[in-house]
A and B are shown apart, each in its own frame.
Chain A
Amino acid sequence: MSYLTLSHLEKSFGTLRVVKDFNLDVAQGEFISLLGPSGCGKTTVLRMVAGFELPSSGGISIDGKDVTHLRPNQRNIGMVFQAYALFPNLTVAQNVGFGLKVKGAPKDEIAPRVKEMLDLIGLADLGNRYPFQLSGGQQQRVALARALAPKPSVLLLDEPLSALDAKVRVSLRNEIRAIQRELGITTIFVTHDQEEALSMSDRVVVMHEGIADQVGTPFDIYNRPATRFVAGFVGTLNTIEAPVVDAATGTVRIGLREVRLGRTLPAGRVTLGLRPEAVSLAPTGREIALHGKIREVDFLGSVIRLRADLDGQILAFDTFNTAHSAPPKVGEEVTLGLNAADLLVIGA
């Protein structure tokens, strides 16, 4: 049962179509991420849900009620902004209580709710501070508490972690997800960071040029990308242009070797995708063995990323770092193993 429904949303600025026929059903309590590069239309979709942009066509409904033409202050939607947007003239407690005060809630209702929210974000002692006296992470937590205090029907997060440093970003994203689960609030999260989207979401919408290219669980998005764009944007992917030798048996040629994928393929050439972690330095137990020469070795700490030349085809692959065995050296001949099932046939 859909709680938040976006149907056939379109948005144009002048002649530029920013969002094209965007459809999405969000269940109550679900955490959905809109993921995509800059300019893909994800923030515009979020702003249309918030009411800051009016759709050129299409509709938005929340809990069965059409809110497409309601003003932002009539939608009961909480929003957290990338730039925190805390009111500089109000203390933390006043910021958190602002929404309730605006709605005319009595004082004896506001104070406990503010306390509850400050407890929730772990800043109970900082209620009397002004925003400029807080760190970026603390400010964003206050912004989250402020958005949640009036008990909104939907929570919108517009790249809330982008302005924070890496360590705070990771801890805050875990906090946001935990709070969202605890409150069971329907949430839309906009990000261009795939790691954030994959780690936090129930489902991810990958957007490209105003279109939802794929909607699915993080597992599906990563392992079964529906389009070439999704495959390339989410995670690292080797793409292999392979001529089809036998379309019926799904046999293709990779380098000098014929590989049978065991599924029907279109005639001509196909683009195959292969995640670096699907390739093994030891071919034992793998269906396909490929020979190549190491071209690059990048030491990334726990993981070592290598690039091998397979008869002109460069293939990136990962291996775990172990203190007892050194990774292959540049120029070293290696045999790589992989399974046919790991080769993704990428669509348009």
Chain B
Amino acid sequence: MKRAAAWAILLLGMAYFILPLIGMVEFSLSMKRGIYSFEAYRVVFADPRFRETFTYSVVMAVLTILFGILLVVPTAFWVRLKLPGLRPYIEFVTLLPLVIPAIVVVFGYIRLYNTSSWLPLTGTIGGTNLLLLFGYSMLSLPYMYRAIDTGLRTIDVATLTEAAQSLGAGWVTILARIILPNVLVAVLSGAFVTFAIVMGEFTLAALLNRPAFGPYLQLMGANRAYEPFALATIAFLITWACMGLIQLVTRLSKFDRAPK
């Protein structure tokens, strides 16, 4: 009886999540009256704005990931190695993006870095892109930091560092050849979450007026019927592909059974 109730709850939960998805996919395939087709997808893929915004967001996502790795890996490593007392404060700082709305942040950016400020980043496309990159990095910080910090927790950072030092390695070598490869799965987890965040982000890109995928999704949603559902399905697949990649990388890691 208990088992049956558990199954019922599980099926109910699955239905709660899956039925809307089925509805969304079904509707995205219904552009041609009376038959299922990929017409909405064809229209979306044929739209040059889709290609432009999608490419822009992918490039920004990759840059955000690289910037995040360069920022977070050394920080988390150093905090764990030399400043363990600071960990609660660093964790608190990395959680702030979850409680400060993106709109507050972007208005702060615009106020601080407008064309009449001391650092007029919004005055140029490159500067605005840079600002957006920092914004994306900030939004992904809670996930990136936590993923990498958890990865670092699974290895003996201090001893591995000392072992590498005794063999003549400097800090860059230690980070690049020892620490990073050993937390790669964690870094990739953070990277894929970052990718998903950047691909769907609307507020920062819209208010900084950059041609990102998020504002394009919104634009299509406001003006078309079937295409937004096709886009939503694509975005959903991207997110799930990222999740799948995290799992795949974790399983394929050659040394994931290393003694901790």
Q: Which residues of A contact B (CB under 8 A)?
A: 50-52, 71-79, 81, 83-89, 98-99, 102-103, 130-132, 143, 146-147, 150, 156
Contacts and interface: CB of A to CB of B under 8 A. Distances in A.
29 contacts: A50-B166, A52-B162, A52-B165, A72-B162, A72-B165, A72-B166, A73-B165, A73-B166, A74-B168, A75-B166, A78-B166, A85-B156, A85-B160, A85-B162, A87-B163, A88-B255, A89-B178, A98-B164, A98-B167, A99-B167, A99-B168, A102-B164, A102-B167, A102-B173, A130-B255, A132-B259, A143-B163, A146-B163, A147-B167
Q: Which bucket holds chain B's interface residue count? A: 20 to 34
B169 interface: yes
B223 interface: no
Given A73-B170, A102-B169, 8 more contacts: A52-B165, A88-B259, A89-B182, A102-B167, A130-B254, A132-B258, A132-B259, A150-B167
B87 to A, nearest CB: 20
Closest 7 pairs between A and B when the two form their complex, measured CB to CB: A88-B258, A99-B167, A85-B163, A89-B181, A72-B165, A79-B166, A85-B159
B159 to A, nearest CB: 4
Contacts of B44: none
Contacts, number: 83
Main secondary structure of the interface of B (DSSP, over half): helix
Contacts of B173: 102
Contacts of A103: 168
B257 A83 contact: no
Contacts of B25: none
Contacts of B159: 81, 83, 85
B164 A50 contact: no
A79 B166 CA distance: 6
Contact of B166 (A77, A83, A84, A89): A77
A88 B257 CA distance: 9
A73 B167 CA distance: 6
